[in-house]
Amino acid sequence: MSIQVSMVPDATETVNAPRVDRAAYLSRLVQLRGELDAAGSGLKDLRDRATALVQERAMPSTRAEEWRFTDLSPLLQESFQPVVPQPITAEAIIPFGLTDAPHRLVFVDGVYAPSLSTLGDLPPEVQLGNLSRVPGGIPHIGQHQGAEETFTALNTACMTDAAVIWVAQGQEWRTPIHLLVVTTTGAATLSHPRCVVIAEAGSQFTLIEEFVSLEGGGAAWVNRVTEIKLGAGATVNHTRVQRQGAHTFHIGKTAVSQARDSRYVATVLNWGAHLARHHLEIYQTGAQTATILNGLTLLQGEQLGDTHSLIAFTQPYGMANQVQKCIVGDRAHAVFNGKIWVPQAAQLTNASQLSRNLLLSPRARVDTKPQLEITADNVKCSHGATVSQLEEDEVFYLQSRGISAEMARQLLTFAFAAEVVDAIPLPTLRDRIRSELSLRLNPA
């Protein structure tokens, strides 16, 4: 099923734009990459293989089914330059502080910034930092299913370093870890931040991964890959916040593999960037595994926010519960494509997916498409999609009690978002998203 609500024509390639050779364009991006230093030297083979892959590819166009609603032409208009890492001050990132997440790792334009990071007192079982902190290298990097996808391969070909979060077996780490990925938007720059998260068997922790931009007008493009590996019985509560600046581009991948009895909870908030695409891919590799995905996308102006998710079951007794909500205003455009694969071996899978969309303006648009591929016969799978507007009668009911129309809209929109907002594990972040919501509703 596909629900499309739109009063504007389908996404087409930007008219009048000069024709760009999409293959040559992509190849050129690889030439912008930085040199490997000692810390990254273990990546050479991986980079070379990915480079070869990228050389065979082209920038996808809207003729490709996977990119049907997301036109990358605005990217093609930019002539991206390699990032020259800008030193930034600690003051510059104060607004992004989370008082309830004491361990903070900061990356600026893809480069680790130890002076801005506050790791705190950590036992050897909890490793935070970058690749140089892991003497033997990371065996898992670049090994996930789907790593050959074009933008993932581009990241692999170009990465020079990676954030590392490694929690050892049985370690139940209580204090949240904040990974802050900062973009300094001076000019049209391209960075490829990478992150590897390893939750060994029986470990537990909470991770906040946040993408922000510093003030500035540049069209920075962040091409992100985060790989998360959960060992047997591990629990990871992951909140991903994409709130980059208004002129930026964000293409991101979160690739998760889950061993048996593990539990992965993701709360994905997406309200920044001019054009954002997130691939959220979960591979359940062991039995009796639980995946909980909560997504909230807030768009206004001419923003485009696209979430492509995949939950791939392979073993019996898997569970997944996915809720994706989009609040779309002005002429913004939200896209959701939710794949769920349940092969023959994944008997007794229990999966549900719900896509709910709230349009705040007549020119807002949403394209939502659940895509369930089920071959196992003894499973419980459900999906649903709704598109709605604020009910004028509900607004009136609240007004008739003395509540202003603005406040009424805010209450109703909060109510729509509540299910996802309440899933955010940190109060500071919850408050931040609430004020972001009211800002969207009453742009003063």
Query: What is the smallest separation between the CB atom of 366 and other proteins, expressed in angstroms?
Result: 19
Q: Provide, rounded to whole angstroms, the least separation between the CB of residue 4 and other proteins.
A: 25
The nearer residue to other proteins, 91 or 392, going by C-beta atoms, is 392
SS3 335: strand
* Rounded Cα distance, 411 and 173, in Å: 36
Tokens of 163: 């954030």
For other proteins, which is the closer residue by CB, 2 or 397? 397
What is the nearest approach in angstroms of other proteins to the Cβ of residue 418? Answer: 5
Q: How far is the CB of 51 from other proteins (least distance, A)?
A: 49
**Which of 120/397 has CB closer to other proteins?**
397
User: CB of 398: closest distance to other proteins in angstroms?
Assistant: 7
Minimum CB separation of residue 407 from other proteins in Å reads 7
Task: Give the number of other Cβ atoms within 10 Å of residue 22's Cβ.
Answer: 15
Instruction: CB nearer to other proteins: give 292 or 412.
Output: 412
Q: For residue 65, give the DSSP letter.
A: G
DSSP H stretches of helix in 61-191: 73-76, 150-158
Backbone angles phi, psi at 239, to 5 degrees: -115, 125
Single-letter amino acid, residue 105: L
Report whether 190 contacts 219 (CB < 8 A). no
Beta strand pairing call for 163-167 and 103-108: unpaired
Specify the residue, 87 or 427, whose C-beta has the smaller distance to other proteins.
Answer: 427
- Which residues ranging from 313 to 372 are in contact with other proteins (CB under 8 A)? none
Query: Residues touching other proteins: how many (CB under 8 A)?
Result: 21
Which lies closer to other proteins via its Cβ, residue 70 or residue 355?
Answer: 355
Q: Which of positions 235-264 make contact with other proteins (CB under 8 A)?
A: none
- Helix, strand, coil percent values for the chain (each to nearest 5): 20, 40, 40
Report how far residue 243's alpha carbon sits from residue 147's, in angstroms, rounded to the nearest whole number. Answer: 25
Are the beta carbons of 87 and 114 closer than 8 angstroms? no
Closest contact distance (angstroms) between CB of 433 and other proteins is 15
Q: The tokens of 172 are what?
A: 């139940």
The helix/strand/coil state of 44 is helix
Residue 63 in the binding site for other proteins (CB under 8 A): no
Nearest to other proteins of 3, 407 (CB atom): 407
User: Residue 359 CB, nearest distance to other proteins (Å)?
Assistant: 17
Q: How far apart are CA 230 and CA 144, in angstroms?
A: 12
Rounded Cα gap, residues 313 and 346, in angstroms: 6
Residue placing its CB nearer to other proteins in the complex, 372 or 390: 390
Locate 238 and state its tokens.
């992951």
- Chain centre to alpha carbon of residue 444: 29
- Minimum separation from the CB atom of position 396 to other proteins (A): 6
- Of 348 and 411, nearer to other proteins (C-beta) is 411
- For the beta carbon of residue 308, count every other beta carbon within 10 angstroms: 20
User: Considering the complex, what minimum distance in angstroms separates the CB of residue 330 from other proteins?
Assistant: 23
What three-state secondary structure class fits 295?
strand
Q: State in angstroms the smallest separation of the CB of 208 from other proteins.
A: 25
Quick one: 56 or 422, whose CB is closer to other proteins? 422
Bridge partners, 387 (sequence order): 357
Under 8 Å between Cβ of 158 and 33: yes
* Residues 417-436 contacting other proteins, CB under 8 A: 418-419
HSE (side-chain half, CA atoms, 13 Å) at 219: 11
Residue 323, token pair as written in the block: 């809720």
| Shortest distance, position 240 Cβ to other proteins, whole Å | 24
Question: 150: helix, coil or strand?
Answer: helix
Q: Which is nearer to other proteins, 276 or 421 (CB)?
A: 421
Nearer of residues 48 and 422 to other proteins, judged by Cβ: 422
Residues within window 271-300 making contact with other proteins, judged by CB under 8 A? none
Question: Do the beta carbons of residue 53 and residue 146 sit within 8 Å?
Answer: no
Q: How far apart (Å, rounded) are the C-alpha atoms in residues 115 and 131?
A: 16
- Mark 382-421 with x for binding to other proteins (rule: CB under 8 A) and - for no binding: ----------xxx-xxxxxxxxxx-x---xx-xxx-xx--
By the criterion CB under 8 A, which residues form the site for other proteins? 392-394, 396-405, 407, 411-412, 414-416, 418-419
